[in-house]
Structure 1
């Protein structure tokens, strides 16, 4: 994938409306304050601590998959459902990237 086509990886502090939408999609009882958006690979929703743990690890492990990595308090989110097996998707994409050279 050319550099310009790579998605960003974004750690988002959700607004109250976004929190409500994420809880509606993922379960009202879940503690959700943040999202980790990984472009077409998917997204996850959780607490700041949960999302930051993955954001930090994936920044070093999967950095070549992303155009940039950053945190923000404002981000448009289209899909509020957490992606199942997001880490598996990232591993497969990274393997494909590694094989290409």
Structure 2
């Protein structure tokens, strides 16, 4: 497994319950700030194998980005079950729910 892939998996695993991160935020923390699409590919292909909290990853607009209707609603319901407010258009308030590494201390080592 590539070091970037390993780092992405590590970051995603550490997203706390009730919080979200964006694909770009994960890419930046993993050392490649322009690799948001690669984060999406890793998330899609590795979530089950590595038991990743995939539902806590959303796009930079604060929206659920999944096109498949059943998976979209699964993500919405999973976030709501953790206390994350998701509006009818699938939007999450990033100011309120995005992980802030300065205030939400998470050890990435």
| Alignment TM-score, normalising by the size of structure 2 | 0.29
Larger Rg: 1
Which is strand-richer, 1 or 2? Answer: 1
Greater relative contact order (Cα 8 A, min sep 6): structure 1 or 2? 1
| Alignment TM-score, normalising by the size of structure 1 | 0.30
